[in-house]
Structures are given as C-alpha cells and as structure tokens.
C-alpha cells in the first residue's frame, strides 16, 4: 500500500493507471475509519483494479458552530484499516496542499440542500462539493463510494456529477446496522444504556413507514405523522425532523408516486442520531446489497 501526500504525485499516478487501462475505485473519507468505511472499501475493492481512499478533514464543510479542530483524527489507525481492506493507495493531503491559496471561485449548491440536515448546516454542502470536485480531478476515479446513512450527501454528490459531467459512477452503499437495526454511528457511544434501547425504535419507525407504503398508503402527511408518533411514543428523544421527499432530487411531494426517502433526525441528551430508508413507489428498498 502506498501513502501519498502530494497532489501532483497522486494525479500523476492516476494518469499512469489510466494509461494502463486500470479501473480506479475511490472512497473519500475524513478519516477516523470505522466499520461503515470498511464496508465502502470492501465494495470498492471488489469492483475495481485499484482501490484509492482519501483521508482529509475538509475545513470548507465546517460551519461557524462546528469545531474543525476537535474533529477526531487517528492517521495511524486509518492507515492500518486501509491496509487490512487491501487499499492500494491512501491519499492524505494537508490543508495547505489542497488549498495552497484562497479559492478564486466557489461552488454553491442551489438545490437538494435546504431540507433535512442541510436546513441547519448552511454552506456545509458547498464545502463538500468543492473538495469532491478537486478530489475527482486529482484521483480520476471510475467509481466513487458513499454510505447511504448520509443520503442527503449522496444526493448532493449525484447533482455534482450530473451537472459537471464527471465521468464517474456513484455507488450508494446501504447503512451498516447493529443486529437491532440501529444505524451504526460514532455518536452511539454517547447514548446511555436506556437511550440505546430506545434508539432502536428509530429504525422500527422508518420500517413502519415503509410498511404503510407497501400496504398502499400514498399520502405523505399520514406516513410522516405515524412515523413521528411511533418515535414519540417509544423514545424520550426530541425529533428534529421527520420528512418524506423525492429521491435523489429531495423535492417536496404530497404523495408517493416515485422513488422517495423517508428520513429522520432525533436528539437524545448527548447525541443527535440520523437515519433513513429509500424506497421505490411500491415500498421496496432502492439500494440493497
């Protein structure tokens, strides 16, 4: 496994691999790799000749109330995980390497951002698409892999690829879950034992919404109401939002007549948990293993 820290070196290697007709699978991360990242790396390893992952805590996607300096970092651990998952290249640039001078232009997301978590993270997704545009140009991937736990981010990246004609295929990898169904997250460690038991019901609530759609319910208001009531009656958490939107455009809809996302965010005492399910019109999951 090769560790690269310079943009020009990474770009030259990517160009050389292209000349050899090698396919490149790319897993962009901000490090502190966990089981969800392993799943992405594993999927990319299976589908490509070369596996590249990046570790870069991108300052552009941190808002004024989000502490960039406190974001967890463990480069030695990350390199070990990448090695265990048979990555060929780990790209670990510094901030100065990625942004040597102030940006002369900026990318601003117009759609898909003013809903769900994007409502409270102004400018976050502008930073996401900016760094990914740079990484796509540097690494030249054939395929890029993203976890669907953050389905809004995947939708935003889909718009970036579509609008700017990046020759890269996106792969959405289903959320990694505990046996109970609770979405795995680094934030789960902040839950008390009782909160953890209650949090299992977030996934059950989303499944209830899926069952309603499978049984012919098409009205958004009813689905959102029943999912919200289930969370309220089975947890002490405070609901940030429950919403049902078209996917991946994330537009409001009154009825389920196309692919949709049913998503929620719930506050517990020391953790905010997010989860979602993406269905087809008939209620069947859109992304499966």
Cβ atoms 187, 271 nearer than 8 A: yes
204 is in an annotated binding site: no
1 assigned binding-site residue: no
Of 37, 77, 234, 252, catalytic? 37
33 annotated to bind ligand: yes
Is 35 known to sit in a ligand binding site?
Answer: yes
176 assigned binding-site residue: yes
- For residue 15, what are its two tokens? 């160009």
Q: Is 198 annotated as a binding residue?
A: no
Tell whether residue 112 is among the known ligand binding residues. Answer: no
- 31 assigned to a ligand binding site: yes
277's CB contacts (< 8 A; 6+ apart) are 206, 207, 209, 210, 261, 262, 285
Residue 87 buriedness (CB in 10 A; 0-12 / 13-18 / 19+): buried
User: Is 145 annotated to bind ligand?
Assistant: no
Spatial CA neighbour of 86 closest among 18, 141, 27, 136: 27
Best CA proximity match to 31, nearest among 3, 54, 50, 5: 54
Instruction: Answer for the pair 231, 206: CB distance below 8 angstroms, yes or no.
Output: no
Structure tokens at 87: 């990555």
Check if 37 is active-site: yes
Binding-site entries for (R)-pantoate: 61, 153
Binding-site entries: 30-37, 61, 147-150, 153, 176, 184-187
Binding-site entries for beta-alanine: 61
Q: Point out the residues that are catalytic.
A: 37
Binding-site entries for ATP: 30-37, 147-150, 176, 184-187
């Amino acid at each position: 496994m090769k560790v690269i820290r310079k943009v020009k070196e990474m770009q030259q290697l990517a160009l050389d691999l292209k000349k050899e007709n090698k396919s490149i699978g790319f897993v962009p991360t901000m490090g502190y790799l966990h089981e969800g990242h392993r799943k992405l790396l594993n999927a990319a390893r299976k589908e490509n000749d070369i596996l590249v992952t990046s570790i870069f805590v991108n300052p552009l996607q941190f808002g004024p109330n989000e502490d960039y300096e406190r974001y967890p970092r463990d480069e030695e651990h990350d390199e070990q995980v990448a090695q265990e998952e048979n990555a060929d290249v780990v790209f670990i640039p510094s901030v100065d390497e990625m942004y040597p001078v102030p940006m002369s232009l900026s990318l601003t997301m117009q759609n898909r951002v003013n809903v769900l978590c994007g409502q409270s993270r102004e400018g976050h997704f502008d930073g996401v698409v900016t760094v990914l545009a740079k990484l796509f140009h540097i690494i030249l991937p054939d395929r890029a892999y993203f976890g669907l736990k953050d389905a809004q981010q995947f939708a935003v990246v889909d718009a970036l690829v579509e609008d700017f004609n990046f020759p890269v295929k996106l792969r959405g990898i289903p959320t990694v879950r505990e046996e109970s169904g609770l979405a795995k997250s680094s934030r789960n460690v902040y839950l008390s034992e009782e909160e953890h038991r209650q949090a299992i019901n977030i996934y059950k609530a989303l499944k209830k919404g899926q069952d309603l759609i499978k049984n012919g319910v098409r009205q958004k208001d009813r689905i959102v109401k029943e999912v919200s009531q289930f969370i309220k009656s089975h947890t002490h958490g405070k609901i940030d939002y429950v919403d049902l939107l078209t996917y991946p455009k994330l537009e409001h809809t009154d009825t389920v007549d196309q692919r949709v996302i049913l998503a929620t965010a719930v506050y517990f005492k020391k953790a905010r948990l997010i989860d979602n399910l993406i269905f087809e019109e008939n209620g069947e999951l859109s992304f499966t293993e």
